[in-house]
Amino acid sequence: MRTAIVLGTRPEIIKLSPVIRECERLNLDYFILHTGQHYSYNMDEVFFEQLELPRAKYNLDVGSGSHAEQTGKMLMGVEKVLLKEEPDVVLVEGDTNTVLAGALAAVKIGIKVGHVEAGLRSYDRGMPEEINRVLVDHCSDYLFAPTEKSKETLIGEGIPEDKIFVTGNTVVDAVFQNLEIARKKVDGDSLGVGEGEYFLATVHRQENVEDEVRFRGILKGLEMAHEEFGVQVLFPVHPRARKRLRAIGAEGRRGNGVCFVEPCDYLSFLKLESDARLVFTDSGGVQEEACVLGVPCVTLRDNTERQETLEVGANVLAGTDPDQVVDKARLILAKEHIWESPFGDGKAGSRIVDHVQSELAGCIR
């Protein structure tokens, strides 16, 4: 029984790292196919090394492009590899173009598909990610839902219950496993900030960064948060955001309490995240990580597919209006920061691998 793990972005590497480690632990027959969706594989080689993961067997090095161009290139490349390797199942995670291409290429040639993190919905069809996750859920054979809420969503869309497995979210496994590595490898003093002495901000989504009004609103909100709480805001700048900062003439601003820094490696970022007083983000994965780490989160979006973080009180939606950004920060900082993570016990990776192995064994019998 052979498994193909298809990934193409760093968040996918992070969330699939527990699955990869379980395959390694059990000495299973599997391989990794990296599409190179966002980064060159040479850059990601360092990432694999940091997380102590085996390198990908295949690298498509697709790079950026329009949604159609990128997805088309990946479809062709993934199909060629699958026809050559003949795996029994393809595992994909999340909602990127890599996930869509990996799932479509597999299902079109009769290979079973397992979707890790199935059933998430923002109900905003203006987000490309929402289209991807819906399409992949409806063509998958095994849907690994992180929570009961995700399972209910899938059943409500007519997906047979016997295809759905509630496993918990691999983000919990990844945070626990990778934070342990980070504490061994990352010198906290080298980051230049003390625990609880700063807010951390991440902004990368197209709908925020490419919209000047929304992006300026976020920047103003971060400045106002510094003024309100007297806390420095660390902002590791995503390449897309850096380009827009230059375009709107905001890159060189100083003295506003927002410190633009170069993107840091994942282990350093995880350490920064775990020690932050508050996180501002438009990232779905960071919402989850902050929740698991016990760090309050203000989400710079009008909606979220991580509804569970709102329900347990770990996260609030602020949108991009500066006053709302500060108001929501004030609201969540006033709360007691104790909640139970809704994403499981950190054993999702082993459950996913167990399900795949038992399902495939049953099919072969």
Q: Catalytic site residues?
A: 204
**360 by DSSP, 3-state: which?**
helix
Q: Using an 8 Å Cβ cutoff, are 222 and 325 in contact?
A: yes
Residue type, 183: R
* Distance between CA atoms of residues 59 and 36, nearest Å: 7
* Distance between CA atoms of residues 303 and 206, nearest Å: 14
Beta bridge partners of 113: 90
- Return the C-alpha torsion angle 187, 192, 193, 195, nearest 10: 10
Give residues with Cβ within 8 angstroms of 339, minimum separation 6: 291, 294, 312, 313, 314
Q: Using an 8 Å Cβ cutoff, are 280 and 236 in contact?
A: no
Which residue matches tokens 């990296």?
34
What one-character-per-residue DSSP string does 99-118 give?
Answer: HHHHHHHHHHTT-EEEEETT
Give residues with Cβ within 8 angstroms of 53, minimum separation 6: 13, 17, 20, 21
Beta strands in 209-268 (DSSP E): 232-236, 258-261
Beta bridge partners of 233: 199, 258
Residue type, 182: A
How far lies 200's CA from each of 248, 257, 260, in Å? 22, 12, 11
